[in-house]
Chain A
Amino acid sequence: MIRLENVSKTYRGASAIALADIDLEIDRGEFVFLVGSSGSGKSTLLRLMLREEKADSGNVFVLGENLRSLPPRRVSSYRRKLGVVFQDFRLLPNKTVYQNIAYALQVIGKSRAFIETSIPDVLRLVGLEGKSRSYPSVLSGGEQQRIAIARALVNRPELLLADEPTGNLDPDNSKEIMGLLSRINQSGTTIVMATHDRGVVDQMQRRVVEIREGRITRDAQTASYREAPSGPIVISENQG
């Protein structure tokens, strides 16, 4: 489903390398956490998969496309095959829940019939069937993120990319969102989620890919946020 081969990326004008010689393979149906501190390169990795950025070298294969050689005019049709959610939800405040989701379908030319049948389905999936006429501003953060997830899923993508989806949420809401993502994954959608929310990673016990300074430093199945410490525990890390 996703294969990165010797991928390197340096942002223009930046002195530090964003990604260095990354090799990574993610299979269909997997749920993978990308963890690491801010600036470690995990968001860059997601941006490469979304084709927001291009790798300087190496190959990025996602959903059967080589994103390094994908011509610009085919980027839009490529993006229709995947869903994305972000920390800041990216909803339109002047549109209702229903309209927000419909907008994503209207702009890619879906028929009214498709829109009218698929939105109730996806609202049921995310548990917002009663809120279709509400505006995002009256909903909780968790509910807003669920709209964003509904919007990402309404076109039935095989792959969902999530960049810190619980970053703006309290623990209860985070748990709720992770439960939802887990259910979505169980129904067959591959999920790649960048996060530094230790709680959700530890709770889920899925594959964890850790990135530090642009390099993969750990890739472990059913893992926690941090490796079991072998050396002295750094106490100060939990403070502040």
Chain B
Amino acid sequence: MTPTFIARQVWEGIRGNLSMVLSIVLVSFVSLSFVTVASLLQIQIGNLKNYWFDKAQIAIYLCNDFESEMICPSGGITETEQTAVASQLNSPVLQPYIDAYHFENQNEVFQRLLNESGDISPAQFLRPEQLNAIYWVSLKNPETAGLVIEAFQNQPGVAAVADQRSYFDPIIGLLNGATLAAESIAAVMLFSSALLTTTTIRLSAYSRRREIGIMRLVGASRASIQLPFILEGLIASLVGGSLAIGLSGFLVANYLTDTLATELEFARLVTVSDVFSVAPYVLSLGAILAVLASGISTFRHLRI
């Protein structure tokens, strides 16, 4: 079969079966939209992590005289204990992980609180001695935080070790939840899309059973009989996928990049180029499913 002949077959198939082909386009559109959304949410989570985790530090809170005995059994940190903490920060074991650290004494912490506080000044009910002096530690790789935290957690004179990254856990959890929801809907929709493709291709084959009968009799190969039907499913799916990418791109450009991103400067939001970067995967997924569904359908229903 020549390419023009195949193209004409595909066109006749689509024209003769237009409403069903449109339904494949729509279902692929919806399902692949959810796939795109899930992918973009994952990119957004990555962006947040990159942006914030670089800035997030580990805070080593030192004991003061006001901590409970549970936390600081021996009261405020002694000079020896503090030297031990400092030398551990400089130790060859931890050096490979630590990018930089700086010490903030109780007065500095108090000053910072004064500067950061709004209408109610902490000076009314707090004195510097009640606060914890802090070692702020920046890591080379934020993923190694656990290791550093562990090293200081039970050190004498240390009240607590906190990882600022944990403040992002709720929002990352939320985004992961949204991804899971989008993926679940996408999975259900992709499944229905595959079933619909199977049914549509079967109908299309049924409406062309005379032609198929003749093709078989005159010795057309199985592949050349199947090909127009597979292309029909593939084209419908690619059109649906392109619509999904187009809509996602439009929404991102108009609602994220132009409006939200200017208001929420704290983190880089997904952009149109992210949409285009996921497009090949989304379209391939749609294409593979369509080819499988129409291939299986024609294999089962076109006895050669």
Contact = CB atoms under 8 A, between A and B. Distances in A.
Chain B binds chain A: yes
A236 to B, nearest CB: 38
A168 B282 CA distance: 55
A24 interface: no
A77 B2 CA distance: 17
B222 A90 contact: no
B302 to A, nearest CB: 12
Contacts of B219: 75-81, 108
Interface residue SS majority, chain A? helix
Nearest to A82: B219
B227 to A, nearest CB: 11
A155 B218 CA distance: 9
A155 B219 CA distance: 11
Interface residue SS majority, chain B? helix
B214 interface: yes
Contact of A72 (B211, B215, B304): B304
Q: Which of A72, A73, A76, A155 has the most CB of B within 10 A?
A: A76
Interface in B1-45: 1-2, 5
Interface in B200-231: 210-211, 213-222, 224-225
A76 B2 contact: no
A107 B218 contact: yes
Interface in A90-128: 90, 92, 103-109, 112
Given A75-B304, A107-B224, A92 B218 contact: no
Interface residues of B, number: 18
Contacts of B304: 72, 75-76
A62 interface: no
A84 interface: yes
A151 B1 CA distance: 17
A92 B210 contact: yes
Contacts of B218: 79-80, 104-105, 107-108, 151, 155
B217 A103 contact: no
Contacts of B215: 107
A151 B218 CA distance: 9
Nearest to A77: B219
Interface string B277-304: 0000000000000000000000000001
Given A76-B221, A90-B210, A92-B210, A109 B216 contact: no
B265 to A, nearest CB: 62
B216 A103 contact: no
Contacts of B224: 107-109
B2 A109 contact: yes
Given A78-B219, A79-B219, A103 B1 contact: no
A105 B92 CA distance: 80
B243 to A, nearest CB: 32
A164 B217 CA distance: 16
Interface string B168-182: 000000000000000
Interface string A46-86: 00001000000000000000000000110111111100100
Contacts of A72: 222, 304
A151 B217 CA distance: 11
Contacts of B220: 76, 107-108
Contacts of A81: 219
A73 B224 CA distance: 12
A84 B213 CA distance: 12
16 contacts: A73-B222, A78-B219, A84-B217, A90-B210, A92-B211, A92-B214, A103-B211, A105-B218, A106-B1, A107-B5, A107-B218, A107-B220, A108-B218, A108-B221, A112-B2, A155-B218
- Minimum-distance CB pairs A-B, first 9: A79-B219, A80-B219, A107-B220, A104-B218, A76-B221, A76-B219, A107-B215, A106-B5, A84-B217
Given A73-B222, A79-B218, 20 more contacts: A50-B217, A76-B219, A76-B220, A76-B221, A76-B222, A77-B219, A80-B218, A80-B219, A103-B214, A104-B218, A105-B218, A106-B1, A107-B215, A107-B218, A108-B1, A108-B224, A109-B1, A109-B2, A109-B224, A151-B218
